[in-house]
Structure 1
Amino acid sequence: MFAQRLKSHHELYDVMKNLAIGRMDVNEYLKSLPGVPREGVIYIHIPFCRKICSFCNMIRVNGAPDDNYARLLIKESERYQDLDYIRRLTFQAVYFGGGTPTTLSSRSIKEIVSVLKKNFCLADDAEITFESTVTELTEDKISSMQECGVNRISVGIQTFNDRGRQLLGRLGSGREAYQKLSQIKARGFENVNIDIIYHYPRQTGEELDQDLNNVFSLELAGFSFYSLITQPGAQLKGCTDDTDMALFERIYTRAIDRGFSMLELTKLIRHDRYRYITARYQGADTLALGAGAGGNLADITYMNPISLGNYRNYVENQPDTKLVGVVTKRQYQTVSRLTGAIQQCKIPRHEYKEMFGAEIRKLVEQLLAEGYATEKDDAFHLTRKGIYWGNNICDAFLRNLKI
């Protein structure tokens, strides 16, 4: 049914070109809106890494930010804090992504979180996540995160196998990674998650099994698992063998047998709610701060300047500088929620039926007939086979919607 697997949601068909109305300054657009109670999340982008992974071609600064970057983030947040639309948002989650957010100093971590709590309406039980590498999780930074209320940590382990770690450009040994995760849990962090990469060159099933054994013995809240994606410009080249599906099935079967459940196409959980991503999938606004951060507020989608120089100029010269976003039809939010539902492994039957024409009905029939999905209650649920091909299924829906 599908010729080549789409491994990431970033590869999906872009429906925005069909639903864009025009372009407008984000601040001016938000000023024109009435404040209405809505849910939101905050994304903070920290585009710094002390070591660039061999599979990464993203725009990153090699090194750690000085405290001036924290000052810029705080000043940028002030651009939004007094807008009526933003003041009526209740933020369910804050996510520090990158890059490596824990390259921030301990002082900066505490200052930024403190300002966010002061200037925005965070839910009483808001989830606050920091991505990190093993080597950046120093005692001082662990303490700083605990002091300011960080309650979820996501660590880019990728693999515990030393050969694999060297190949992927990770610092430290697999043993050190395991010990650090144990230490974090012993310090009282209950919601600890990791990323695992599979199908890297010459990986064996036994090596993958050892990664899974470590995940299970650590009793992590959840883990994301990604088949290696290499893009032009990355040092590492991907595999050309046909073991990708077999390795995926190995992960899925073993984790389900150990009591994990699917949260999304690439994430298995025991008790991680991952409110940042689930809120976004359900239509929450995303207030994005930092160089290269992208967000959406009401019907406008935007991305901050990517280079540090342009970002600094944008923040330091506000309110004179403008940030232009794309205004979309309200239908774009509906399509985004449908995309989120499929990413969470199901296709609602009735909620989006006005966008389901003959082509979609034919697609659903084929998915059911060929074992990609099963029908239960008011939704079609992806099977293990459907989850593996989930991004292809999502892409097929987006290409055939009546919009």
Structure 2
Amino acid sequence: MAGIYIHIPFCKKRCTYCDFYTEVATQFIPTLIDSIVKELHIRKDYIQNETIKTIYFGGGTPSILNKSEFKMIFDAIFSLFEVESDAEITFEANPDDLTTDYLNTISFLPFNRISIGIQSFEDEDLKRINRRHTSNEAINAVKDAQMVGFKNISIDLIYGLPFQSVDAWRNQLDVAFSLGIQHISAYGLTYEEGTELWKQREEGIIDTIDDETMNKMYELLLETVSKNGFEAYEISNFAQPGFRSKHNTSYWKNEIYIGVGPSAHSFNLESRQWNVNSINQYIKAINENSNYFEKEDLSIFDKYNDYIMVSLRTSDGIDLEFIKLNFGDEFVHYCLQNIKTFIDSEKVDYNNDKIRLTSAGNQISNLIIMQLMKV
């Protein structure tokens, strides 16, 4: 089974923390939709007749599309691929796009999951990171999505925002869990070089939250999701039982997926591909039937490193039996040799051939992952 990711790289304005490929020139939307449909036809053999179990519209801002634009893409997908009857079909949305009129319009499309990019329920935070919605709009977006029939709603939040306190983060979580959502993705703020927020930090306009406070915020997050009956199934992702993101989980399990649209990535077990990150270049190449992506064939070391990088972040952890079957005893020995220090310091738990991060290990997950990767 496989997934399809559709990248819609348009935003009405750019958030100060964002380093994803996006454009604000929305006049290209109709031409881009045509090109995405053409790419779906071009790429239909990439997954070798695998059944589609997840479809995910990400961005950018997919909720910038109207019903007919979504329908063009769905018509292509359902005509070219076999899609499971219970496939998870998600779109990302900005809260201020989710008016009742808009939600009622798209309710006739096959979406059964919505991911709302709220980031904060505090208006001052939202202004600081250049989000275009208010706290009230965020709350109403969730309620309106529930009202039109969405029963699988995820929200994104960011902690460690400039000037944010632990108590303020606690209030954010209280609001989130009062809304009856099924899934939450919560990310510690990172300052990506070149972003507006990074420039503000470099110029001394804002200060970063110290590591001790960030760790307290993450511990509070873990306590709160557990108290509300959510599973911590990945470092930044939490769900009610039965509501894990199937699409994201497929990434973490190294399953096949096609990515269409500018800057989208694809993976078929043997290679990775990534599309050009320019709308103009993408549209031109698709229409001229010329190359629009780069490709990397994966060595056994690449595959092992990919497995380590994604699996250790999940609650399932690293399976040494999987490593033995897929990469050989040499990689098992290497993994055990390099993880010993973290076992002894209780940063990871080693039991029944499984290696999982402990709560303390979650806070240094990148360090542990780098130690286990094989160059």
With structure 1 as the length reference, what TM-score do the two structures score?
0.84
Count how many residue pairs are aligned between Structure 1 and Structure 2: 359
Tell me which of 88, 110, 114 is aligned to 1:149. 110
Instruction: Determine helix, strand or coil for the equivalent of 1:218.
Output: coil
- Once residues 76 and 245 of structure 1 are traced to their aligned partners in structure 2, the CA distance between those partners, rounded to angstroms, is 43
Q: Separation in 2 of the partners of 1:289 and 1:315?
A: 11
Gaps of 5+ in 2: 202-206
Amino acid at match of 2:40: S
Distance in 2 separating the partners of 1:241 and 1:87: 48
Aligned to 1:58: 20
Q: Out of 296, 305, 311, which is 1:341 matched to?
A: 311
CA shift, 1:261, in A, is: 1.2
Q: Deviations over 1:234-282 (max 9, x none)?
A: 1123615231111111111121122111121111111422111112222
Whether 2:98 is the aligned partner of 1:137: answer: yes
Pair 1:70 & 2:14 matched: no
Contact 2:32 2:279 in 1 (8 A): no
SS of residue matched to 1:113: helix
Alignment of 1:96-135 (within 5 A): 96-135=57-96
2:252 to 277, 281, 297: 281
Aligned equivalents of 2:43, 2:101: Cα separation in 1: 31
Q: CA deviation at 1:349?
A: 2.9
When residues 335 and 121 of structure 1 are mapped into structure 2, their CA distance, relative to the original with a 3 A threshold, is farther
Q: CA deviation at 1:357?
A: 6.0
User: How much does 1:298 deviate?
Assistant: 4.0
After superposition, the Cα gap between the structure-2 partners of 1:289 and 1:210, relative to the gap in structure 1 and judged at 3 Å, is: same
Change over 3 Å in CA distance of 1:117–1:100 after alignment to 2: same
Structure 1: which 5+ runs fail to align?
1-38
Structure 1 CA distance, aligned partners of 2:209 and 2:95?
29
Query: Percent of counterpart pairs with the same letter?
Result: 25
Taking a change above 3 Å as real, the CA distance of residues 324 and 179 of structure 1, as seen in their structure-2 partners, is: closer
The answer for the alignment partner of 1:295 in structure 2 is 266
Asked if the contact 1:44–1:97 (Cα under 8 Å) also holds between the matched residues in 2, the reply is: yes
1:241 aligns with 2:210: yes
User: Pairwise mapping of residues 347-386 of structure 1 onto structure 2 (< 5 A)?
Assistant: 347-353=318-324, 354-356=329-331, 360-386=335-361
Contact 1:151 1:189 in 2 (8 A): yes
AA aligned to 2:248 is: I
Q: Is 2:295 the partner of 1:325? A: yes
Equivalent-residue separation in structure 1 for 2:271 and 2:348 (angstroms): 34
Query: Are residues 218 and 139 of structure 1, via their aligned partners in 2, closer, same or farther at CA, if it must alter by over 3 Å?
Result: same
Residue in 2 that maps onto 1:263: 233
Report the Cα distance in structure 2 between the residues aligned to 1:309 and 1:161, rounded to whole angstroms: 37
Q: Aligned runs of 1:187-226 on 2, under 5 Å? A: 187-226=148-187
The offset of 1:148, in angstroms, is 1.7
Q: Does 1:42 align with 2:4?
A: yes
- Retained in 2: the 8 A contact 1:109–1:144? no
Report the Cα distance in structure 1 between the residues aligned to 2:19 and 2:49, rounded to whole angstroms.
38
Contact 1:110–1:145 (Cα < 8 Å) also in 2: no
Cα deviation 1:105-156 (Å, max 9, x = unaligned): 2210122122211211112211111111101223343234321211111111
**Under a length normalisation based on structure 2, what TM-score does the superposition of the two structures give?**
0.89
Letter of the aligned partner of 2:210 in structure 1?
A: D
CA RMSD of aligned residues (A): 2.0
Question: Partner amino acid for 1:43?
Answer: Y
Kept after mapping to 1: 8 A contact 2:39/2:260:
yes
Query: Contact 1:373–1:382 (CA<8 Å) still a contact in 2?
Result: yes
CA distance in 2, matches of 1:393, 1:304: 30
